[in-house]
């Protein structure tokens, strides 16, 4: 990874830029959705990602410009999934790297920072869902230690639900 790229938890000065980056990435990934109304997680950005005990937003920056992100927020258990209900669980969201910066290890570095933050916060279980139309997404998440726990059609999307258990005793 390029040394001029910084991976860090989101700073207050970059909140608006992060929200715009998240909106732009959604538009690129899901052009048929999210075009008019501001999604709930962006409308409640600070409360979900920065102020909540089960929230975190990590960015990659180059020359003070956000070029990548990944986040987690409290998981709301809106899906019927074979996961423990007794573990502290967050949902991993918002992984996106600007196409001009891909293939440099940025996504891996973003995830490692996020996972370290989760371990320090004593989070025990990470959940996410992805879709096969996203190039190599399932493979990427498997390399990050996630395992598929369910696959289903939700609306028009083939959805792959995945989880990763964290060992909080490994946090240092």
pLDDT at res. 171: 46
Query: For the segment 70-83, what is each residue's pLDDT rounded down to a tens digit?
Result: 999 999 999 999 98
Query: 41-45: which pairs have CB atoms within 8 A and are 24 or more residues apart?
Result: 41/73, 41/93, 45/15, 45/18, 45/19
Rounded to an integer, the average pLDDT of 150-165 is 93
The answer to whether 72 touches 90, Cβ cutoff 8 Å, is yes
Give residue 168's pLDDT band: very low, low, confident or very high (50, 70, 90): low
pLDDT at res. 124: 96
pLDDT at res. 40: 87
Task: Pick 134 or 163 by higher pLDDT.
Answer: 163
Radius of gyration for the alpha carbons in the chain, expressed in angstroms and rounded: 15
> Structural domain boundaries of the chain?
5-123
pLDDT at res. 30: 73
CA-nearest of 39, 2, 6 to 20 is: 39
Rounded to an integer, the average pLDDT of 149-161 is 92
| pLDDT for 86 beyond 60 | yes
Secondary-structure class of domain 5-123 per CATH? alpha beta
Sort 92 into a burial class: Cβ within 10 Å, 0-12 / 13-18 / 19+.
buried
Query: For the segment 3-59, what is each residue's pLDDT rounded down to a tens digit?
Result: 799 999 999 999 999 999 998 888 777 766 656 678 888 899 999 999 999 999 999
- Neighbouring CB atoms inside 10 A of 101's CB total 16
pLDDT at res. 35: 62
Query: For the segment 109-146, what is each residue's pLDDT rounded down to a tens digit?
Result: 999 999 999 999 999 999 999 999 887 899 999 999 99
pLDDT at res. 88: 93
């Amino acid at each position: 990874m390029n040394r001029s790229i910084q991976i860090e938890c989101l700073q207050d000065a970059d909140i608006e830029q992060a929200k715009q980056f998240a909106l732009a990435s959604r538009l690129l990934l899901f052009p048929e959705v999210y075009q008019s109304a501001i999604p709930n997680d962006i409308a409640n950005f600070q409360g979900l990602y920065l102020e909540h005990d089960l929230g975190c937003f990590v960015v990659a920056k180059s020359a003070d410009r956000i070029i990548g992100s990944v986040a987690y927020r409290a998981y709301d258990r809106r899906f019927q999934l074979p996961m423990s209900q007794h573990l502290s669980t967050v949902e991993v969201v918002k992984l996106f790297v600007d196409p001009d910066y891909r293939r440099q290890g940025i996504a891996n570095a973003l995830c490692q920072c996020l996972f370290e933050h989760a371990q320090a916060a004593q989070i025990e279980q990470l959940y996410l869902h992805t879709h096969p139309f996203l190039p190599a997404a399932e493979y990427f998440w498997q390399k990050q230690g996630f395992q598929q726990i369910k696959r289903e059609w939700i609306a028009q999307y083939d959805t792959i639900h995945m989880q990763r258990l964290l060992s909080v005793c490994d946090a240092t």
